Structure 1
């Protein structure tokens, strides 16, 4: 179901791929407006200035010829109609992702190089461009050829992140080590955090712990002081490897250093409790988060729902799931709040069916239908059989009918096989009601 849910979600939101790219660099600093020779627009200007940019985005989205996409954006960059086009994250994220999907990474790299050449040097702009390059070699060339004014710890961390995404850990380490001598940038906290993440991802927790200790050692001036991201990275590593002693030590160091835990810190702790079949303690942390105004995300709720389901406590899992829904409604805006991950629906639905919690299982099933997603076939079969056994044949037929509308393509024969095994107690087939 996870793949079906994700497929449906992507189909319903064609901008999902570019949105992921935007999220990847949305936390990086904006381009410094003072670096541009263009005067700051008056408050009334954004509406009129944004219209041609929106038209350009729509044209890029509709275009299927990669050369034409490149030409559209390149012409706009070289023209004077949109003097601050280089600040548009959405446009360049969209254009490069489209070119990469159309198998023209060379044109994507060319467009990003034109972007960097058309704007005043800025660490923020360079960092955002580096996050969009199709390959780490393109990113490295762009960084190496950039003016000194654009090089900083922020842009260096973006380069290291490009190497990390490509799985080139050795190149990442060598670039980090030689950054000051060969690139003119001394790695700061952001770059150290990328290296920490790379070490943890490579399961080299010993090296990550050593680096974190050096960062926390005030006598080592070449190491920046760690922040909560530094500690969270190593904390997640200990959680993944079930390192209880290291996990507790990191939590104590966070407390001793007076750093404020964020959502990642709490998620690590909640996931830890859930894995140890002590999910109730994890849910208590959810209350702590709310009291400290730390907003939970989907990972928070996923850990709690899956933890309770693994413990066989589907009632508590359903309570957490509904609590998440209430929170989203309370925000009052569709772009805020928390949405369940597809895997949450899968785990919860299966557990509810196994425990014969028909009303809740039916509610989850209908929620999937509302998202145009087909739940796991075997779990649906169990729900239908449970409804028939409880004398709720009409609802069982409705579930089957909606599944018939949703299941398409290669999955159709597997579903038809399930339907062929279903029947009423009286022997009347459920299919084709």
Structure 2
């Protein structure tokens, strides 16, 4: 990781003392600027986002690097992209994205994932899909986090078919699913009344021995019973018991 990337990452993620009097240093040059690092610091108890502060602070770091002949690298840009897009500063994220292109730094999958989160946070789902196409055209293969973000975006938009479509893309691209995939989609399937698919996903979760909220499993059971799918509900209960989940599931008909 470059010295600039470490410095920028520190701006967004490192807790700092109550007072900061000297500017940060790189391994090769001392930048002729003074950053209010305390203003940009974050902590687990009282996080601050770049939008809470002055985004020009981070951008000024890049300007000063250019003045002393140092070029920001991909890690540096990804650090800024994640900070801005993830924390609701979409417009500033776009500035960083444009600057990255201007500097002829080619984005990678992490760059696109950061931008995708920003686009989705703005509810620009059609643009998010276009971004996936742009990735593929550039020879960058989406990873499971790329597809998870898109699936979650369509869940939030209330679009069941598109959410299911992008879930299926995970398997089609031979990507290993993660727990977040299921914990995002199962509640949405329950909300939309698709208990068949919700049941299949619950079975996969149980088979992988991932943690799942008992209340969520209970909702799936109740939905199956309402649809008179007692056999499927019983199978789900037995599977949970077989995998020794420390939860108590009860068929609604047994109450």
Please give the TM-score of this superposition, normalised by the length of structure 1: 0.48
Deviation at 1:162, TM superposition (A): 11
**Structure 2 partner of 1:235:** 81
The reply to whether residue 294 of structure 1 matches residue 136 of structure 2 is: no
**Structure 1 partner of 2:207:** 370
Q: Give, in whole Å, the separation in 2 of the partners of 1:235 and 1:383.
A: 38
**Structure 1 partner of 2:172:** 326
CA contact (8 A) 1:314 1:348 kept: no
Alignment counterpart, residue 186 of structure 1, candidates 9, 21, 28:
28
Gaps of 5+ in 2: 31-36, 43-47
Which structure has the larger Rg over C-alpha atoms? 1
SS for the counterpart of 2:173 is: helix
Alignment counterpart, residue 231 of structure 2, candidates 390, 394, 398:
394
CA contact (8 A) 1:306 1:317 kept: yes
The reply to whether residue 214 of structure 1 matches residue 56 of structure 2 is: no
SS for the counterpart of 2:123 is: coil
Q: In the superposition, relative to structure 1, how do residues 396 and 243 fare at CA in structure 2: closer, same or farther (>3 Å)?
A: same
Q: Deviations over 1:78-130 (max 9, x none)?
A: xxxxxxxxxxxxxxxxxxxxxxxxxxxxxxxxxxxxxxxxxxxxxxxxxxxxx
Q: Give, in whole Å, the separation in 2 of the partners of 1:176 and 1:307.
A: 38
The reply to whether residue 251 of structure 1 matches residue 93 of structure 2 is: no
Q: Give, in whole Å, the separation in 2 of the partners of 1:382 and 1:274.
A: 28
Q: In the superposition, relative to structure 1, how do residues 207 and 160 fare at CA in structure 2: closer, same or farther (>3 Å)?
A: closer
The CA RMSD over aligned residues, in Å, is 3.5
Tell me the matched-pair count.
238
Larger displacement relative to structure 2 (296-305 or 239-248): 239-248
Deviation at 1:354, TM superposition (A): 1.1
Larger helix proportion of the pair? 1
Deviation at 1:296, TM superposition (A): 2.0
CA contact (8 A) 1:232 1:264 kept: yes
Gaps of 5+ in 1: 1-27, 29-153, 180-184, 189-195, 329-337
CA contact (8 A) 1:374 1:406 kept: no
Q: Give, in whole Å, the separation in 1 of the partners of 2:20 and 2:217.
A: 47
| 1:335-354 aligned within 5 A | 338-354=175-191
Please give the TM-score of this superposition, normalised by the length of structure 2: 0.77
SS for the counterpart of 1:258 is: coil
Q: Give, in whole Å, the separation in 2 of the partners of 1:233 and 1:172.
A: 22
Deviation at 1:239, TM superposition (A): 1.6
